[in-house]
Amino acid sequence: MSMPIAFYICLTLFLSIFSGTDGYFEQRVTQCRYSSKDLHGIEFIDSYVFNKVEDIRFNSTVGRFVGYTEHGVKNAEAWNSDAGFLGQEQVQLESYCKHNADIYYSAIRDKTVEPHVRLSSVTPPSGRHPAMLMCSAYDFYPKQIRVTWLRDGREVKSDVTSTEELANGDWYYQIHSHLEYTPKSGEKISCMVEHISLTEPMMYHWDPSLPEAERNKIAIGASGLVLGTILALAGLIYYKKKSSGVL
């Protein structure tokens, strides 16, 4: 059964007992399932799993325990007849799920991080297009993002390939879109990025005036010049202080 879940919290408790090659694995999973921020349709689910088989579950929508195995059915009957134990489960929707919903939303769901975008030229695969551009968006959150290519202000839909949103493993995502094209004099090629963290779509224009390798050489040369100037100035200051006997 598919579950359209917008927000999912899971607490898992493990118990493993091993003797030789035989063993037992018991797991308890509690979940708060949110389908919308207004908490409409929220559910609290408490599952008991033995050796990877769920044998009993409490669902706040059902309001009682349900067994799925012979052992689970027996436990469900006993637990449902215990008013105190059943009552502890029934209050979890309010005391656990709804109580913490605002905290989780403010800490995670409502957070947005702007993407860092880089537009670069890459070597195209063998084919009919002599040039390829790559538009990369890094370290954005949440996952949903839209990257499109424009030629002279109009969207380009052919010869475009994109990766899916790739998880970095640290809550952030990245995506890469490629455009194969044949350069034409005077045309303007842009990458447009749309994301919830941005108040308006961001445009990044490709400047073909210099090959990327040449632009990198200029940037490296400029950095070296600045560093050399700083070192020379530091040496001059040191020399003057030493000459005056300050050091």
**Selection from 116, 110, 89 nearest residue 28 by Cα:** 89
What domains, with CATH codes, occur in the chain? 7-109 (3.10.320.10), 116-205 (2.60.40.10)
User: Which structure tokens are listed for 46?
Assistant: 């408490």
Q: What is the pLDDT of residue 161?
A: 93
Percent of the chain scoring above 70 in pLDDT: 76
Residue 129, pLDDT score:
79
pLDDT of residue 163 exceeding 80, the answer is yes
Of the pLDDT bands very low, low, confident and very high (cuts 50, 70, 90), residue 22 is low
123 C-beta neighbours (distance < 10 Å), count: 6
> What integer pLDDT is reported at residue 210 of this predicted model?
53
Name the average pLDDT for the chain. 82
- Say how far apart CA 161 and CA 177 lie, in whole Å: 6
pTM above 0.85, yes or no: no
Q: Residue 116 in contact with residue 135, Cβ under 8 Å?
A: no
Q: For the segment 84-136, what is each residue's pLDDT rounded down to a tens digit?
A: 999 999 999 999 998 888 788 777 777 899 999 999 999 887 767 789 999 99
Integer Cα distance of 195 and 217 in angstroms: 33
Tell me the one-letter amino acid at 127: G
User: Quick one: pLDDT at residue 189?
Assistant: 95
Alpha helices (runs of H) in 186-246, residue ranges in sequence order:
212-243
pLDDT tens track for 37-64: 778 888 999 999 998 899 999 999 999 9
Instruction: Pull the structure tokens for residue 160.
Output: 């475009």
Residue 179 host element (H or E):
strand 173-181
pLDDT at position 218 is 41
| Count of CB atoms situated within 10 Å of the CB of 242 | 10
As a whole number of angstroms, the longest Cα–Cα distance in the chain is 95
Distance between CA atoms of residues 82 and 85, nearest Å: 5
Distance CA 62, CA 119 (A): 53
DSSP annotation of 163 reads: P
Report which secondary-structure segment, H or E, holds 72: helix 70-80
